[in-house]
Amino acid sequence: SGLYERLVTLWKAGLLTGIKTSGLNVMSTAAHAMSETAALVPATFIDSGIALFSKERTTAFTVRGYPTGFVEGGVKGWDYLRTGHSERDVGQKYDYKKTNYGKSPLGKAQQAVTDFTFHLLGAEDQPFYYGAFSRSLYSQAIAQAMNKKLKGKERQVFVDNLQKNPTDEMLEWAKEDAETAIYTNRTHLGDVARSIQKVKGGEIVVPFGRTPSAVAMQIVNYSPVGVVKEIAHEIHKGKFNQRKFVHAAARTVVGTGAMYLGVQLFKAGLIALGFPKGERERKLWELEGKKPNSILIDGKWRGIETFGPLGNLLVIGGYFQQALDSKGSPTEAMIEAMAGGAKSFTEQTFVRGVN
């Protein structure tokens, strides 16, 4: 590999090295897994309502498959940590490409550092990826069993067989669900970041593009804007995609609930937003151990990034109430809330070093 590629990869590994980064990656992804599971509840109700007209089910709530997929992912994660080999492109989450540092003692040391850093973070994601993948197949299989009006043992046999022998379409949906679960899904914002990275020196400006973009879009997807965005997309396409609409609407339901919780936390003084401008209040924050974009839990202020995309929705709710208290206009409050949420994301995106 060339000198530039070696230096950039080593620098990016340095940005990601540390227990905090690994812990944050696991906690954020785990929180996202819980929010995606929670979203399946309203998704099932919305899907059943639409099915009254479409005569088709696309989604069913279940946690079946997740435990076995999680264990399978753990095994694959361990293999990836040891060997660096995987059946999927694990490194794409951090825009990582295998880099050769040569056979000198220094080169071998640099190789060990970069390989271990990226392999560890990639290994941490494998359980969540395969857990989401397996559950998605079960959810789709159950929905198809409902379409066939199967019951009891016959339904169980059908679901198990279809989960083990899924259609190509089911595999595509499962792959999309799994990539979304670990923030490796492709987005327009990510494509823009990638185009910048392709320019010489671009990776210095945007060291990580795919994952921060996926996180940002998932925050939007969980907000009230998410379902509006999906409706606009389907109108543009000229075709109704029931499954996509159902999941978009369900995420908006869960995200709106998180925003409401953020409002209540702000009223109770349990959520901190942007860093105060006044010197006196800043010193008070330091004495209390208070930090921007955090929630008071068990006597400690904890950063919202550990809560995945919903953490940002909590902050947006807090900003909404703050603006509503000062201006009294819900419209102005929502505009300020979205601006505050965007600012909080740039300050604490879960991929350390992006800024």
Q: What is the pLDDT of residue 350?
A: 44
Rounded percentage of the chain residues whose pLDDT exceeds 70: 97
- How confident is the model over 21-33, as a mean pLDDT? 90
pLDDT in tens, 268-296: 999 999 888 888 888 888 888 888 899 99
On the question of pLDDT at 355 being above 50, the answer is no
**Tokens read off for 260:** 């409401």
**Tokens read off for 351:** 């991929």
Least reliable range by pLDDT among 26-35, 206-215, 216-225, 228-237: 206-215
Of 332, 284, 339, residue with least CA distance to 315 = 339
On the question of pLDDT at 37 being above 80, the answer is yes
Q: What is the pLDDT of residue 99?
A: 87
SS (H, E, C) the chain: CCHHHHHHHHHHHHHHCCHHHHHHHHHHHHHHHHHHHHHHHHHHHHHHHHHHHHCCCCCCCCCCCHHHHHHHHHHHHHHHHHHCCCCCCHHHHHCCCCCCCCCCHHHHHHHHHHHHHHHHHHHHHHHHHHHHHHHHHHHHHHHHHHHCCCCHHHHHHHHHHHHHCCCHHHHHHHHHHHHHHCCCCCCHHHHHHHHHHCCCCHHHHCCCCHHHHHHHHHHHHHCHHHHHHHHHHHHHHCCCCHHHHHHHHHHHHHHHHHHHHHHHHHHCCCEECCCCCCHHHHHHHHHHCCCCCEEEECCEEEEHHHHCHHHHHHHHHHHHHHHHHHHCCHHHHHHHHHHHHHHHHHHHCCCCCCC
Between 11 and 174, the higher pLDDT residue:
174
Of 42, 21, 24, residue with least CA distance to 32 = 24
Q: Quote the CA–CA distance of 298 and 198 in Å, as a whole number.
A: 45
> By the 8 A CB rule, do 141 and 162 touch?
yes
Q: Quote the CA–CA distance of 171 and 161 in Å, as a whole number.
A: 14
> By the 8 A CB rule, do 124 and 93 touch?
no
pLDDT in tens, 132-176: 999 999 999 999 999 999 999 999 999 999 999 999 999 999 999
pTM (2 d.p.): 0.90
**Tokens read off for 335:** 């505009």
Amino acid sitting at position 277: K
Q: What is the pLDDT of residue 348?
A: 55
Q: Quote the CA–CA distance of 170 and 137 in Å, as a whole number.
A: 6
Of 87, 129, 133, 116, residue with least CA distance to 22 = 116
Report the alpha-carbon angle 185-251-183, nearest 5: 20
Least reliable range by pLDDT among 1-15, 259-273, 307-321, 340-354: 340-354
pLDDT in tens, 305-315: 889 999 999 99
> By the 8 A CB rule, do 270 and 296 touch?
yes
On the question of pLDDT at 345 being above 80, the answer is no
